[in-house]
With several copies, the nearest count.
Chain A
Amino acid sequence: MFNDKVIEHFMNPHNAGDMDNPDAEGTIGSPVCGDIMQIFLKIEDNIIKDAKFKTFGCGSAIASSSVATDMIKGKTIEEALKVTNKDVIDELGGLPSQKIHCSVLSEQAIKTAIYNYAKKHNLEFEGLKGFDPNFDPHEHHDE
């Protein structure tokens, strides 16, 4: 069902856990839909210096977040915003079709964190155009 890379990231996730004084935080999902994803970012000079996540979600959500946080570290915010769930899946070497929404979850959590950061600092990012923080990945995934 899952490839080795997914399993590896699931069992030994990178960037998992709390962050002291994050510059940005984003949470998506809720207990009602069964998944919750939280992203913390350290941002300095428009660059993502550090990223962490916490989740109550399935293995693919954990693996996706592990990879996604790896991918955005060191990137500028605009660059980070370009990381799509498709990129995350490619990096993981594929996910079963019924698990695609988990990768969407991590993409959305990152965007939400940046969205909150932009709001707080009154910034605008090209990559956030049309982004809706209340987006529910469960309604959109196709199986």
Chain B
Amino acid sequence: MREVYLDYSATTPVKKEVLDAMIPFFTEEYGNPSSLYKKGRYAKAAISDARKKIADLIGATDREIIFTSGGTEADNWAVKGVAYGNKHKGNHIITTKTEHHALLHTCEHLAESGFEITYLDVDQYGMIKLEDLKKAINEKTILVSIIFANNEIGTIQPIKEIGELTKNHGVLFHTDAVQALGNTEINVKDMNIDLLSMSSHKIYGPKGIGALYINKKVKLPNYIHGGAQEYQKRAGTENVPGVIGFGKAAELAKENMEAHIKKLTELRKYFIDKIFEKIDTVSLNGHPDKRLPGNINMTFSYVEGETMLLYLDVQGISASSGSACSSSSFEASHVLKAIGIPLENALSSIRFTVGDFTTKEDLDYVIETIVTIVNKYRKISPYYNTKKG
């Protein structure tokens, strides 16, 4: 049976070149980068090299890149770090209703200890309004944290404009760029970004490694204390193979960015057009163009999402109902709710995310399968008949 992976936003396979770069660091070049001897220095130099590649991908300098265990840790660190480090200045944080759980649950945690969180609304496409943001900033605001590109619906926020605004108001700006990385131009200096979260496993690197960009002017308290690693900003023996893999993945992402975006955008358009052609009563969620090149989030009304995913799975197709973190419990997505999708449609929405290894033939197979599913299960859907019959 054909196997088609269409969940590149949940995670990506590690590219062969990336794995090849990592391999020596497991069994041969296993030195601890903090060690003074040759093996240690070799590992340390390799880390510096990887750091530079990641810095290059976002227009930062290498000392501004601090490795973490992933995007989640980076989000936790950025937001809690600014919060705890700026208590004397204020207790107000602004974010959006469409953040990843790593951000939302961190904010909820902070709310329990006295921080005030404003969750900005978004429009039908998932876009925040700059006016809303401007209005929300007050003299107690210490941080604005807005997701660069949404993981469920792919909407890309006006980051440069937000950076301009926060800069003018003297408020720190963090963005969760886990999904955006490698999929759209990022330049932290042009965009006035103070803190930016990244994760390796979304750009064909290994899982369990990520990074936080910390603008050199920003003093962020440490979150994980211990040894003197990472310029004394993040303790713990470095995940050397992970760092090397992330570095290689970042290098490839930079080299391939243009072709990657072009290819994914084409595949996305192809898929969406075909679906609209073949199935009635479907809709696309998120912004028509200002979205991640590989993101397709559609509502197949009258067909329950989990049914669809299960059928796809049986046919060898991997897709998801939104964020992977919550897909074990099939609940309506907070993001779809925020863009005003009614519950039954939210429960009929599926996210397909294409990637570097996706082919048109894969998509044809998936489209065909979707048509079968929709026909089959709409027939036995109480709503469909009621409304159509």
Query: Do the two chains touch directly in the complex (Cβ atoms below 8 Å apart)?
Result: yes
Any chain A CB within 8 A of the CB of B334? no
Q: Is the CB of B41 within 8 A of A17?
A: no
Q: Is the CB of A56 within 8 A of B343?
A: no
Query: Contacts of B310 on A, CB cut-off 8 Å?
Result: 2, 7, 10, 58-59
A34 in contact with B307 given A1-B36, A13-B380 (CB within 8 Å):
no
Which of B263-271, B277-285, B381-389 lies at the interface? B381-389
Taking the closest CB of chain A, its distance from the CB of B334, in whole angstroms, is: 15
Q: Is the CB of A36 within 8 A of B382?
A: yes
Within 8 A of A (CB), among B9-45: 36, 41
Query: Contacts of B121 on A, CB cut-off 8 Å?
Result: none
By the criterion of a CB under 8 Å from any partner CB, how many residues of chain A are at the interface? 25
**Mask: chain A, 54-81; 1 = CB below 8 Å from B; 0 = not:** 1111110010000000000000000000
Query: Contacts of B77 on A, CB cut-off 8 Å?
Result: none
A17 in contact with B379 given A58-B310, A59-B306 (CB within 8 Å):
yes
Query: Contacts of B306 on A, CB cut-off 8 Å?
Result: 58-59
Q: CA–CA, A2 to B381, complex, Å?
A: 22
Q: CA–CA, A11 to B311, complex, Å?
A: 7
Q: Which residue of B lies closest to A6 (CB)?
A: B310
A57 in contact with B307 given A1-B41, A11-B314 (CB within 8 Å):
yes
Any chain B CB within 8 A of the CB of A47? no
**Mask: chain B, 313-345; 1 = CB below 8 Å from A; 0 = not:** 010000000000000011010000000001110
A31 in contact with B344 given A17-B380, A56-B381, A58-B307 (CB within 8 Å):
yes
Within 8 A of A (CB), among B334-375: 342-344, 347
**Mask: chain A, 1-37; 1 = CB below 8 Å from B; 0 = not:** 1100001001101001110000000010001101110
Any chain B CB within 8 A of the CB of A53? yes
Partner of A27, one of B344, B379, B381, B382: B382
Taking the closest CB of chain B, its distance from the CB of A14, in whole angstroms, is: 11
Q: Which residue of B lies closest to A55 (CB)?
A: B380
Any chain A CB within 8 A of the CB of B302? yes
Q: Is the CB of B307 within 8 A of A62?
A: yes
Majority-rule SS of B interface residues:
helix
By the criterion of a CB under 8 Å from any partner CB, how many residues of chain B are at the interface? 24
Taking the closest CB of chain A, its distance from the CB of B96, in whole angstroms, is: 25
Q: Is the CB of A54 within 8 A of B304?
A: no
Q: Is the CB of A56 within 8 A of B332?
A: no
Any chain B CB within 8 A of the CB of A85? no
Partner of A34, one of B343, B377, B382: B343
Q: CA–CA, A88 to B383, complex, Å?
A: 25
Q: Which residue of A lies closest to B347 (CB)?
A: A34
Most A CB atoms within 10 A — which of B303, B304, B314, B342?
B304
Q: Which residue of A lies closest to B373 (CB)?
A: A11
Q: CA–CA, A58 to B348, complex, Å?
A: 11
Q: Which residue of B lies closest to A15 (CB)?
A: B380
Q: CA–CA, A2 to B380, complex, Å?
A: 21
Query: Contacts of A55 on B, CB cut-off 8 Å?
Result: 304, 380-382
Q: CA–CA, A58 to B381, complex, Å?
A: 11
Taking the closest CB of chain A, its distance from the CB of B62, in whole angstroms, is: 17
Q: CA–CA, A56 to B311, complex, Å?
A: 14
Q: Is the CB of A59 within 8 A of B380?
A: no
Query: Contacts of A38 on B, CB cut-off 8 Å?
Result: 382
**Mask: chain B, 135-162; 1 = CB below 8 Å from A; 0 = not:** 0000000000000000000000000000
Partner of A56, one of B36, B314, B329, B344: B344
Partner of B385, one of A54, A58, A59, A62: A54
Q: Is the CB of A18 within 8 A of B385?
A: yes
Q: Is the CB of B330 within 8 A of A58?
A: yes
Q: CA–CA, A11 to B303, complex, Å?
A: 14
Partner of B343, one of A7, A13, A32, A62: A32
Query: Contacts of A31 on B, CB cut-off 8 Å?
Result: 342-344, 347, 383
Q: Is the CB of B343 within 8 A of A16?
A: no
14 A-B residue pairs with Cβ-Cβ distance under 8 Å, sorted by A, are A1-B36, A1-B41, A2-B310, A10-B307, A16-B379, A31-B343, A32-B343, A34-B343, A55-B381, A56-B302, A56-B347, A57-B307, A58-B306, A62-B377
